Structure 1
Amino acid sequence: MTILNNLKLVNERIKKSCATSGIDLSKVKILAVSKKMGTNKILEAYKAGLSLFGENYISESIEKINYFKKMGLNFEWHYIGPIQSNKTKSIAENFDWVHSVSNPRNC
């Protein structure tokens, strides 16, 4: 199944869940976890309508972020993994959001 087909199914489930729960559909965002995915898959996801991507492997992530910046595609990048103190600067410089903090000293 293609990313586009999967996304259509996910969007339908979200739409139904929002209708059932009374949540405003326009407030829901999909964060695609792209760790271990190549740039071709991320580009396919972008073409399917996704622009928020979650990563947790620093070196791999930075390569992807720079690759897409060179293409003129500035996605919203989210760091979703445990944080090592020696990686905090790289995370702060390259990611738009951080969703986990392993240690208060890393804040």
Structure 2
Amino acid sequence: MPEAERLSAVRDRIARAARLSRHAPEDVTLIAVSKTHPAAAIEPLISAGQRLFGENRVQEAEEKWPKLRDRHTDLELHLVGQLQSNKAEAAVKLFDAVHSVDRPSLVAALAKAIDKAGRAPLLFAQVNIGDEPQKGGCPVVELPKLLREAEAAGVGLSGLMCVPPAGREAAPYFALLAKLARDNGVPLLSMGMSDDFETAVMLGATHVRVGSALFGPRG
């Protein structure tokens, strides 16, 4: 299926899920996750009207996005993968949002980088919603403390992000993230990927991170 058709189909599914749950479709932001895909695979989605993309690694983004942004000056780039503290400065320069703030040391590194760069990307706290030891993310019980530390550092977190456990029904985890956002006064919710973004939209996602449904399966 051509990229434009995939994009249209995903947008239609988002809009349908939003209307079914009485959310406004325009309140849901689609992040096209372009990790591992070369610029040649990204260009057709740009031509079809997609302007917001997500990458997992700072180094990969540094290699392919400056040239793309030279050609298309209205693109927005989100970091949706884990971020090492020593990459905070590079991330602040390159990305318009970071979805993986999960520990005090990273908050401190981002605060320093933001002050130096004079620009502040949108920041999401990544929550380890399934309490999985192998995954990144702030433990649920430590989220209020992380939010306070970020506010004290002058880098308030505007959203929460999660990746539910693989092979489990995603809805309860999305519902929990939405409750955590309400309880802590956080307005944005980054949740839902290719297999479950409609469920996420119905449970209040403001940002969905979709890769394979737009780019096709990775080779």
Q: Which has the larger radius of gyration?
A: 2
- TM normalised by structure 1 equals 0.90
- Does structure 1 residue 46 correspond to structure 2 residue 35? no
Residue in structure 1 matched with residue 94 of structure 2 by the alignment = 94
- Does structure 1 residue 26 correspond to structure 2 residue 6? no
Greater percentage in helix: 1
Percent identity for Structure 1 against Structure 2: 34
Q: How many residues align?
A: 107
Q: Residues of 2 paired with 1:83 and 1:72: CA distance?
A: 26
Q: Which amino acid aligns with 1:90?
A: A
Q: 1:10 to 1:73 in 2, by over 3 A?
A: same
Contact 1:83 1:102 in 2 (8 A): no
Q: Which amino acid aligns with 2:86?
A: N
Alignment of 1:1-107 (within 5 A): 1-107=1-107
Q: 1:8 to 1:69 in 2, by over 3 A?
A: closer
Cα RMSD, aligned residues only: 1.4
- TM normalised by structure 2 equals 0.46
Q: Residues of 2 paired with 1:66 and 1:19: CA distance?
A: 37
Greater percentage in strand: 2
Q: Residues of 2 paired with 1:58 and 1:5: CA distance?
A: 29
Q: Residues of 1 paired with 2:8 and 2:47: CA distance?
A: 13
